[in-house]
Each structure stands twice: as structure tokens, then as C-alpha cells.
A = this chain, B = another copy of it.
Amino acid sequence: MANAAAERWPSTADQGGRVTITDVAKAAGVSVATVSKVVNGRYGVAPATAARVFEVVEQLGYESSLVARSLRRRRTNVIGVLVAEFEPFSTELLKGISQAIEGTGYELLAYSGGSADGNRVGWERRSVSRLGGTLIDGAVIVTPTVVAPVHDNVPIVAIDPHTGPSGAPTIDSDNLAGARTATEYLIGLGHRRIAHLRGREDLESARLRELGFREAMEDAGIEVDPDLIRVGNYRPDLADAPAHELLDRPDRPTAVFAANDISAIRIVEVAHELGLRVPEDLSVIGFDNVPESASCNPPLTTIAQPLHQMGAEALRMVVDLIEGTPREHHVRLPTSLVVRASCAPPPA
């Protein structure tokens, strides 16, 4: 019977539209409310009716629209990960988040809102506004360009946060200690003339990494040449010019500490273009330990952040925030030195 009904009212999908709850209702000969109840397992539906509806749902391949449902309901059970773009850093976090979400009952929605033309800055506010309240129950924002927007509605945690007064929940690693370690490693190798390629001006991590560099230099009694501090913005394309300025001169540094791996890799490439050997003529150390740092040539010595862990921790934090579980709102994870092949004592 149900089958006969379903056949008489073929899915609108066959005709070009998607299968809606109305299609199911018609085919099953019940109201949409009943279908909704059945699909959502509410009480107050006769077993026979429920069975029939299920059959039609199966037949038609109906699946409720996340959009329509989330417009109406309060919860969607999906957590958003907001990134500017999918590059090595954010995708590593994503791996950690994805693993941690298993078994929580939530699903993951990663949204890249920063790629569009006008939104280089402030993309996260826009993304949160567009998705928040509807569609996602909470969000983790990766390296926001502005102070994490506080939406009273949507719990938000920031990974590698913006500079500034930070009351918002955040995850980061010990950037200061990591930068000191990197610099001390270079100094220990015998370097004195060390450059630093700074990260994104607006990020706390970039500030801290520069500070760690300066502290380590000062502790070693080495004066920092202001001309050897450049800004690479964490981006390989923007690291190109400063890399050339740093290396294409007689009094070039013997080592450079780049604020992240992908710009460090770019430096190595520029060095090669200039006929410099790494690490014989120039030592380069990075930060992050993204997988790419191991596959470049030579493999990059770097400071590891526990990226997967950071993602997992961020996820747990939003979930706790959503569910009202009280907890610490700032988590800082340790960094560690990963020695590979891009650093050596300075040329004699």
C-alpha cells in the first residue's frame, strides 16, 4: 500500500527538485507534522503510521534539510570551524578537531570565508554572523584577524588568537618559550648575525615569537640589528620580498628564524635561487612543524606546536561551552624543538 502510494507520487527529485517533507507527507497520505514527528522520533504516532512513513522516507530517499531545520530549531548539533583558507596550518588543526569530534554526536562544518575579495580582514565576524545562531551551535575560529567577536548566542573559541585584551576563550601554544628555544639553538650553533622574519602583525603569536627572539638574543648578549627584523606575515608570497632584502646583501645574516614554517620554506627557496646553500651558507629555522616542513629540501628544523592536540582541545572547549560544562577558558600547550637538516654552524 505504502509502496503503491509512493509510486503514484514519484519523488519530485525525479522531476528536478529535492525531496521535501511535503513530498513524503503526500506520498504517505499524512500531514507534514506527522512526518516530522516520525522522523524525529517523537511520541504520539501510531506504529502503523510510523512504519508507513519510514517506508516512504526510505523509498524517496528523504533527508531533512539542515538549513530549514536549523532555521526553526535551536540546536543543529554541528560545530563550525572558521578559517580564512585551507592551508597547512589550519588543515592540521582540522585533523585534530575531526578526530576529537568522533563519538561526541556533533558534526563538523569547516567554512572558509576569508577567500572572497573584500574579506581579507574581518572575515570571521562575517562568518560568525552568517552561520551563527543558525546552522552552527558553536565555532572555533582559527587565527582571527580581529578580537574574537563575542556572540552571546554562539560559543566561540579562538586558536592562535588576535592581540589585545583577551577575555574570550583561547587555545595557543607557548610561543614565547618556543621562540627562545629556536633562537638559543641558533646561538648555540655559533650564530651571531641572526635575522627574524616576523609573522602577522595582528596576531599575539607573532608578537610573542619576536619577543622570545629578542629575549634570547639579549640574554646571550647579542645586539639585534633592526635591519634584520622583517615582516613576512606568515605567508610565503609575502615572505619573498623580505627574504630577498635579507639575503641579497654582503652583510647578510648567517641564520634566520622565520615565524612559521611555510615562510621558512620560502626563505630556503630564495636562498637557493641566490645560489646559497642551506645549511652550509645559511641556517633556517621555522615554527609550527606542519607536515610540509619535513618534505622540503633540506628538511626543516623547526619548533613544533602540537597542532592536532590544539585542535582537539579547542573542540572539547566549544563542546563544554555549548553544554554549559564549567572549565578553564585558556589552554596553552608546550612547544618543542624538532631538529632536522636546515641548521648548521655558521660558515667560517
Compute how far the CA of A99 lies from the CA of B151 in the bound complex, rounded to whole angstroms.
30
By beta carbon, the residue of chain B nearest A297 is: B294
Chain A: interface size category: 35 or more
From residue A62, how far is it (CB to closest CB) to chain B in Å? Answer: 7
From residue A95, how far is it (CB to closest CB) to chain B in Å? Answer: 5
Q: Is the CB of A18 within 8 A of B87?
A: no
Q: Tell me whether A130 is interfacial, beta carbon within 8 Å.
A: yes
Q: Which residues of B contact A293 (CB under 8 A)?
A: 295
Protomer copies: 2
**A13-B153 in contact given A101-B115, A134-B67, A294-B294 (Cβ < 8 Å):** yes
By beta carbon, the residue of chain B nearest A152 is: B16
From residue A261, how far is it (CB to closest CB) to chain B in Å? Answer: 11
The proximity string for A residues 263-304 relative to B, scoring 1 for CB distances below 8 Å and 0 otherwise, is 000000000000000000000000000111111000100000
Compute how far the CA of A293 lies from the CA of B153 in the bound complex, rounded to whole angstroms.
42
Q: Is the CB of A125 within 8 A of B61?
A: yes
Q: Give residues of chain A (1-38) contacting chain B, Cβ–Cβ below 8 Å.
A: 13-19
Compute how far the CA of A85 lies from the CA of B101 in the bound complex, rounded to whole angstroms.
10
Compute how far the CA of A130 lies from the CA of B108 in the bound complex, rounded to whole angstroms.
14
Q: Is the CB of A62 within 8 A of B129?
A: yes
Q: Give residues of chain A (218-234) contacting chain B, Cβ–Cβ below 8 Å.
A: none
The proximity string for A residues 252-270 relative to B, scoring 1 for CB distances below 8 Å and 0 otherwise, is 0000000000000000000
From residue A132, how far is it (CB to closest CB) to chain B in Å? Answer: 6
Q: Tell me whether A110 is interfacial, beta carbon within 8 Å.
A: yes
Q: Give residues of chain A (47-67) contacting chain B, Cβ–Cβ below 8 Å.
A: 61-67
Q: Is the CB of A130 within 8 A of B95?
A: no
26 A-B pairs, CB-CB below 8 angstroms?
Answer: A13-B153, A17-B152, A18-B134, A62-B129, A63-B125, A63-B130, A65-B134, A66-B131, A66-B134, A68-B134, A86-B94, A86-B98, A87-B98, A91-B91, A103-B117, A107-B111, A107-B112, A108-B112, A109-B112, A110-B110, A291-B291, A291-B295, A293-B295, A294-B295, A294-B299, A295-B295
Known: A18-B151, A67-B70. 12 other contacts (CB 8 A): A18-B134, A18-B153, A18-B154, A63-B129, A64-B130, A65-B134, A66-B131, A66-B135, A109-B112, A110-B110, A290-B291, A291-B295
